[in-house]
Amino acid sequence: MKPALKISLQILAFVILAALSIYLLPRQQHSVSFDYTVGRPWGYGLLKADMDFPILKTEAELSVERARLLKDFVPVYKPQIPLDSTGLYILSVDEMARVEKNGWQYIKVAENNVSNMVPLQDLHTPKTAYQLTGKNLPVNIIYDTIKSESIRDEYLEDMSLVHGMVFKGTKIVDSGEIVTDEIAQIILSFSEAKNNSSNPKSQSLMPTFASAICVVCLLLIFFLYLFTYRRKLLDNLRNVLFFTILMAIIISAALLLLAYVPSHEFVYLIPFVWAPIIARVFYDSRTAIFLHIITVSIVSLAVTMPYVFLLTQVLVGIVAVISLRDMTQRAQLAQTAAFVLISYSLIYTALHVLTAGDWQSINWHFYVLFAVNAVLVICAYGLIFLFERGFGLLSSITLVELTNVNSNLMLQFAEKAPGTFQHSLQVSNLATEAAKRIGAKVLLVRTGALYHDIGKMSNANYFIENQSEGNNPLTGMETAAAAKVVIEHVVEGERIARQHNLPELIVHFIRSHHGNSQTRYFYNTAINQAKQAGLDPSAVDAAEYSYPGPKPSTKEAAIIMMADAIEARSRSLKEMTPQSISDMVDDMINMQMQDGQLAETPLSFKDLEDVRVVFKQKLLEINHHRIIYPKVE
């Protein structure tokens, strides 16, 4: 892929993630609102009035004011049917209940432009009218809604909905201050004033624009982190897609839940630790934590109490990464889920007591949400498998499974090429110790070493470690043909690996464990034969005796190359002494360095020295002398 196209696709991935996040952020975010409890400390920072606004009266104050203004109010009723000769005013049972509930002592009955004031004691229901007259009389007056409400509005038109003013720059409430009823009413008045002061169009556009800036800045920070500290990850389009898709899944799930579920507490059902857990399995802890912080920061733009949410999620995410240092067993996810549950519970409890000041108001419903969240953490195993297959990544769990020497492929390897299988085990042991010493990926090295020579299964009898003594079919072949057979084990190894769906990293070890070096035995033999025949040695085609490569490009691949050559060379030593082993190790590594086989790896001189020491020490331990058991005389 061309560099310009790759960069364009990387930028496009981040742009799509930003656009998705901005689109899903709830539009009601423009409303000014605060989450607080009367009688509890204020959970935000200092709140000051940035405008003049009136203080709204409370509902209780408005009720008292209405009652005062309506104390002289008399409702108007009108005849439903002509009043009969009894002169009784008969109301329905519901209407009589309304009169009594409102405490009306009089009603006004309007008929033919004449109004009569009727006292409460002269009003009847059909039941009381029957008791008085012995007749079943119908309801004859009904409530005149239009006239009554018109008169009522006249009484209330002078009622003020506010009392007092708060001027710009005045402190409303400070962090940790107890929210009283009076302060709560001022906060409500401030929110109403803010929400009613702006133009509706600008009110909906400005917050969206502000949210877009926050999202873009957060993703830009993540991009700059990768550019500065993880350039190799950023240069690989597969990794960029992995990060953006993982973040998109978590962000979309959270924002959709916030959009369709009224109560924001249910956002704690979302297993945000999926992001750092999955990222940690395939990459490093710092990248996992950084990705998690950016993800929850974007979601925090949509939640109430964003600071509490952000602090909680960041701390829980860090705990999850620490508890999952290197996942080699599925049971580790269960342990991580337990740590997540404990962390959520402790942090929520501590923050609640810190802001509320007591235990009594704790919402125990949150602990149920945390428990469900912990269960969902275990489900990350399925996502790990999907990401591993979808992006061609390699998890520690898969590496552990591949090191099982009782797998079908390993059993076939041991059966068809027993000598090579034993050689691979020894290379694996050597390489593992070297990887530990220089901080390389130990499990990856162990696995790659087991499979590096698997191509010899196809023609096992052509390789000396699988031959019976004195039976080497290569001796009767021309040097070029013999070299081709030996070199072919790399090609065959790649074919077998792909046939068994081995990960790409393991295939790389198979292809690179000889780099593009030459089969020295046959190449040197061809040179000597040319000299003996009086021919020009330069006529020997070096390409016919060279492995296809590529050269190792990682510490792990370089370790396997060195361990493979040294273990094979050690079997040709006539005597195993500290000096002979030391000279052999130095000679092999120096030869590979001079040949340029290690030039593309990030190994330092110190790494190489440490590897030399480990190889020498391990070879001495493997080939130590045993005591001679005495015979019974």
Q: Report the pLDDT value the prediction gives residue 342, as an integer from 0 to 100.
A: 96
Res. 633: pLDDT tops 70: no
* CB distance 61 to 163 below 8 Å: yes
* Count of CB atoms situated within 10 Å of the CB of 227: 12
* CB distance 541 to 483 below 8 Å: no
170-200 residue pLDDT tens: 999 988 888 898 998 888 888 888 877 755 5
- The average pLDDT across 408-429 equals 95
Q: Report the pLDDT value the prediction gives residue 470, as an integer from 0 to 100.
A: 64
- The average pLDDT across 216-235 equals 94
Domain edges within the chain: 3-26+202-391, 63-156, 396-622
**Phi and psi at residue 117, to the nearest 5°:** -85, 120
Res. 446: pLDDT tops 50: yes
SS3 at position 55: strand
* CB distance 272 to 313 below 8 Å: yes
> Could you tell me where the DSSP H helices lie in 41-112?
59-69, 93-102
Quote the mean pLDDT of the chain.
88
Q: Would you put residue 357 in left (φ > 0), alpha (ψ -120 to 50) or beta?
A: left
Look at strands 123-124 and 47-48 and give their pairing. Answer: unpaired
DSSP 235-298: H-HHHHHHHHHHHHHHHHHHHHHHHH-S-GGGGGGS-TTHHHHHHHHHS-HHHHHHHHHHHHHH
Res. 85: pLDDT tops 70: no
Q: Report the pLDDT value the prediction gives residue 204, as an integer from 0 to 100.
A: 57
Q: Report the pLDDT value the prediction gives residue 456, as an integer from 0 to 100.
A: 95
d(CA 43, CA 22): 27
Task: Report which of 500, 257, 513, 241 is spatially closest to residue 373, judged by C-alpha positions.
Answer: 257
Q: What amino acid occupies position 414?
A: A
d(CA 77, CA 57): 32
297-330 residue pLDDT tens: 999 999 888 888 999 999 999 999 999 877 777 7
* CB distance 508 to 600 below 8 Å: no
Look at strands 76-79 and 141-143 and give their pairing. Answer: antiparallel
Q: Report the pLDDT value the prediction gives residue 618, as an integer from 0 to 100.
A: 93
Band (pLDDT 50/70/90 cuts) for residue 29 is very low
**Phi and psi at residue 405, to the nearest 5°:** -75, -5
User: Structurally, what CATH architecture does the domain formed by 396-622 represent?
Assistant: Orthogonal Bundle (1.10)
Q: Would you put residue 184 in left (φ > 0), alpha (ψ -120 to 50) or beta?
A: alpha
**Phi and psi at residue 573, to the nearest 5°:** -70, 135
Which of the residue ranges 39-48, 252-261, 269-278 has the most confident prediction, judged by mean pLDDT? 269-278
Band (pLDDT 50/70/90 cuts) for residue 472 is confident
Res. 534: pLDDT tops 50: yes
DSSP 545-601: GB-------SHHHHHHHHHHHHHHHHTT-SS--HHHHHHHHHHHHHHHHHTTTTTTS
- The average pLDDT across 253-276 equals 91
* CB distance 57 to 162 below 8 Å: yes
Res. 202: pLDDT tops 60: no
* CB distance 189 to 56 below 8 Å: yes
552-588 residue pLDDT tens: 999 999 999 999 999 999 988 888 888 999 999 999 9
d(CA 616, CA 576): 11
Look at strands 89-90 and 123-124 and give their pairing. Answer: parallel
Q: Report the pLDDT value the prediction gives residue 393, as an integer from 0 to 100.
A: 87
d(CA 504, CA 472): 33
Res. 31: pLDDT tops 70: no
